[in-house]
Amino acid sequence: MSRIFERRRLWRLDQPTFHAATVLLTQAVVEHAGMLDGGVDLVIGVARGGRALGETLAASLGVPLCMIGARHNLTDARYLQGHGHVEIEPTSGTVAGTVAAGARCLVADDICGTGATLQAVTGELERLAPATIRSCTLCRNEGSSLLPDWWVWDVRDWVVFPWEPPPPKDAATVPLPNPTRIRMRRRS
């Protein structure tokens, strides 16, 4: 499946709404990961977009953070469809040294556009034999066939995050609504 872009607006995530979303995500992870598999030992942020979410979740959960570099889009241009190829930094460095066999890992990224980045990162991490790999994102494009374990917003247009360059002044931007709930993948 490919990303859906209605091209009616640019969604904009501001810092206060990002903070509210991270509070809800942290609560969901604590509640549900604890019931499912005992919690989280390590947060893995997907650089670049997942850095802020990863840092915030690791601090809130009181666990270490490591970053893994992954890139799906070749440029930062808006409305790009995913091409299916995700470039991942080898896990030979910090990630491989941090993810111990049996660890309970939480992968954090800003958006699940097609799901290709989360699938590639998860596949790379599985070689290190963690006990579990869960995932969370701020947004999920409704065209994605992959569901993270937790996410905040379903979107059908491009999202501009606080850590990205601002959109042009003439762009029609709409703030993402204040989050009231977390969406969660149902596991069988």
Please report, for residues 54, 101, 110, 120, 161, the alpha-carbon distance to residue 4 in angstroms, rounded to integers and kept in the order given: 25, 37, 16, 21, 18
Whole-structure pTM value: 0.87
Q: What is the pLDDT of residue 99?
A: 75
CATH number of the CATH domain containing 137: 3.40.50.2020
Please report, for residues 14, 21, 130, 132, 143, the alpha-carbon distance to residue 99 in angstroms, rounded to integers and kept in the order given: 32, 26, 7, 11, 31
Residue 82 lies in a domain: no
Residue 1 lies in a domain: no
Residue 102 lies in a domain: yes
pLDDT band at residue 27, thresholds of 50, 70 and 90? very high
Q: Into how many domains does the chain fold?
A: 1
Residue 125 lies in a domain: yes
Residue 78 lies in a domain: no
Q: Which residue range is the domain that position 127 belongs to?
A: 10-73+87-181
Residue 173 lies in a domain: yes
Q: DSSP labels for 67-135?
A: EEEEE-SSS--TTPPP-S--EE--TTTHHHHH--TT-EEEEEEEEESSSHHHHHHHHHHHTT--SEEEE
Least Cα distance to 61 among 16, 37, 30 occurs for 30
* pLDDT tens, residue by residue, 95-110: 666 677 789 999 999 9
Question: How much is the mean pLDDT over the chain?
Answer: 86
Residue 166 lies in a domain: yes
Query: What is the percent of the chain where pLDDT is above 90?
Result: 57
